[in-house]
Amino acid sequence: MSKVRDEYKFDMFLGMSKDKKDAPFIIDYEPPKGEGKLIEFKNVKKVFNSNKNKFVALDDLSFTLYNNENVALLGANGAGKTTTVEMIIGLNTPTDGEILYLYDYDFNFQEEIGIQFQDSSYPIGLNVCNIIDFMIDVYNIDITKDEIISVVTAFGLHEYLKKPAKSLSGGQQQRFNILLALLHKPKIVFLDELSTGLDIHIKNEIRVFVKNYCEKFKINIILVSHDIEEIENITDRIMILQNGKLKVDINKSKVKKYAKSLNDLFNKYI
């Protein structure tokens, strides 16, 4: 843990120019009208202690996520993205402040969260179909056989259902991880570099399918990405973290109010 945090600290102070640190805050976000709150961060602070040193990963961070919006969560290495995601999904707890889960769930807030992992270690002996069946049983997913076939086909995995999951190529694993994150139709799904490692044809198909699937089942996307086109096509809201603080929080439609383009905005703040 301490090694990772020290690397983040190094990146944060040596990888970000003084101009970017000094760029003004842009907090001009308007939530979708008539939509309820999903998650609320209230003055969240996270401090990591290592070798008698303190690293403030999140510094009095406050924001609200709403239903019916897709959010781009951005920032340089060490900005606080990973810690923020860890907090939301329950893998870490605040040093101070609180996180409120305001959506309905049966037993635990985590049951309504989907996570796309970049790296997966699948058990030896289980094929793709076995893991899909396992997910359906664990989450008690209400899904028809036709829906399963539709999803698997959309992700280009229908040929590999009987193939050991461990033997999938990098691109196939990427698609499989996204499928598993969406299968139980969560309230919120975290997508980390959605199309990394995919060829351009598959990349475009996956983007369209993911966006349409999430709209159909009212799944809210939190996208962590460096792909401008991906952010442009999928998200409605831009949040940029810097030094554990929320530096930018605007509707995507307002980008040109502050910058020439998304790329220009990112160059100024990331």
For the residues of the chain, what is the DSSP string, one character each? Answer: -HHHHHHHHHHHHHSS-HHHHHSPPEEE--PPTTPPEEEEEEEEEEEEEETTEEEEEEEEEEEEEESS--EEEE-STTSSHHHHHHHHHTSS--SEEEEEE-S--SS-GGGGEEE--SS--PPTT-BHHHHHHHHHHHHT----HHHHHHHHHHTT-GGGTTSBGGG--HHHHHHHHHHHHHTT--SEEEEESTTTT--HHHHHHHHHHHHHHHHHTTPEEEEE---HHHHHHH-SEEEEEETTEEEEEEEGGGHHHHSSSHHHHHHHH-
Name residues of the chain where pLDDT drops below 50: 1-15
Q: Which CATH superfamily is domain 1-103+224-270 in?
A: P-loop containing nucleotide triphosphate hydrolases (3.40.50.300)
- Tokens found for residue 91: 């893998």
Domain-by-domain residue ranges, the chain?
1-103+224-270
pLDDT at 17: 62
Q: Using one digit for the tens of pLDDT, what is the confidence trace for 43-90? A: 999 999 887 789 999 999 999 999 999 999 999 999 999 999 999 999
pLDDT at 16: 55
pLDDT at 8: 34
pLDDT at 195: 79
